[in-house]
Amino acid sequence: MALCMATAAGAGTIQVVSAADEFRAAHPRPAARGAGDDFRSTMDQVFGQGRWRQTSGYRSQAEEDTLRRQGAGTVAPGRISHHSIGRPGSPGAYDAVVDSMAPETAAAKLRRAGGGFSRVVAEGAHGGQGPHLHIELTSASALSSTSGAEN
C-alpha cells in the first residue's frame, strides 16, 4: 500500500479536464459573424467589391442631435434612429454610396436582391453626406419596435 501511494505521489498531480472543453477543442465552430459582415458581403455580391462605400454606420444620440441641428433629414426629436441602435461595430443601419449609380437605381437593385435588410431608402443630400442609400438591418427592426426607432 505504501508503495502505491509513493508511486502516485511521484507521478504528479491528477489533471482534471472538462469534457465540454475537450469537445469544443476537437470540434471548433466557425467564428460568429456580425451584422456588418452580412451587410458588406451582400453589398459586394449585389454591386461588386470596391464599387460601393459605406458613408455612415453607428451614431450616438449626440451625433444624431448634431445632424438634426445641421438640418439633416434625421428622425424627429424624441425618436431613436436605427443608426443609434446597436454599437459601433454592429449598427442597426448603414448609409452607403454606390459608384456610378443613382441612389434610386441602387436602392431598387438592393431591394430586389433581398438579404437581411428591412428597409432600403434612397436619400438626398443632408448633413455632410451627398445622396446615398439608407439601409436598415432586419436584426435592428425587432429592437426598434420596442424602442420607438425610426430612420
| Model confidence pLDDT, tens digit, residues 35-93 | 456 889 999 999 999 999 999 899 898 888 887 777 766 677 778 888 888 888 889 99
Query: Which region, left, alpha or beta, applies to residue 90 given φ > 0 means left and ψ of -120 to 50 means alpha?
Result: beta
The rounded Cα 15 to chain-centroid distance in angstroms is 41
Consecutive H or E run containing 44: helix 35-47
Tell me what pLDDT residue 76 has.
Answer: 73
Residue 53's identity, in one-letter code, is: R
Mean pLDDT of 106-131: 86
Contact of 101 with 71, CB cutoff 8 Å: no
Give the largest Cα separation in the chain, rounded.
87
Tell me what pLDDT residue 145 has.
Answer: 46
Residue entry with cell 433629414: 73
Tell me what pLDDT residue 120 has.
Answer: 93
pLDDT tens for each residue of 3-36: 555 555 556 688 776 666 665 666 554 433 444 5
How many angstroms separate the CA atoms of 85 and 11, rounded?
A: 56
DSSP conformation letters of 79-135: -EEGGGSEETTEESEEEEEETTS-HHHHHHHHHHH--SEEEEEEE--BTTB-SEEEE
Mean pLDDT of 98-117: 92
Q: Which residues of 3-23 are buried (b: 16+ CB within 10 A; e: fewer)?
A: eeeeeeeeeeeeeeeeeeeee
Return the domain boundaries, the chain. Answer: 36-150
